[in-house]
Amino acid sequence: MKTYILATQNRDKIKEFKNKLGAAICLKTLDDYPNIPDVLEDGTTLEENALKKAREINAFTGLPAIADDTGLEVDALDGAPGVYSSRFAGESASYQDNVIKLLNELKGLKMEQRSARFRTSIAFVDSREAWSVHGSVEGFILEHPKGEDGFGYDPVFYYEPLQKTFSELDLDTKNTISHRGKAIDAFIHKLKELNQI
């Protein structure tokens, strides 16, 4: 079984990746390397950030590296917060801080004006190649959070076909329809094509 490193310490992301990848690969994370340097995410796109993280973590560990970057694009905000989603309310913002700022920015808008999408780019880098895959999902931003599960903007991201927020979905259901779930599916497909798993 091949060993890969997932370039994150985010427990929620790790859970989603492991849920999808199952026993197909041995997945290490940044938690396995306490002295690993931080990667400055200064790209202008999700793909740039994901590739940069994967390159730097691959160079440091020598392991094939997987990195993702995810953004929420809100049409009424001209695509913001986008690449700045995790730090929308500031560099050390919590999930709740970001959601509160988003809801304040959209205050007074009707549901049809609150369209949004999640996008994820997943990058892979090893000693021979570098590539990326993508996933997205359309939805709307509710006026108030709903649901107990999920993370980030999940409590206010309303998925119309199921009439629920991402926080109201169990992990298996969310991973079937979500931006990251779709990107991980595309990632697994590409690994199989390249005989990496």
Whether residue 158 contacts residue 165, with contact meaning beta carbons closer than 8 Å, is answered with yes
Which one from 32, 42, 69, 172 is the annotated catalytic residue? 69
Q: How far is CA 180 from the centre of its chain?
A: 5
Q: Is 185 a catalytic residue?
A: no
Six token digits for residue 133: 């895959």
Whether residue 81 contacts residue 88, with contact meaning beta carbons closer than 8 Å, is answered with yes
Beta bridge mates, 134:
121
Phi-psi region of 90 (alpha: psi -120 to 50; beta: other; left: phi over 0): left
CB atoms within 10 A of CB 76: 14
Beta bridge mates, 158:
140, 165
Residues with catalytic roles: 69
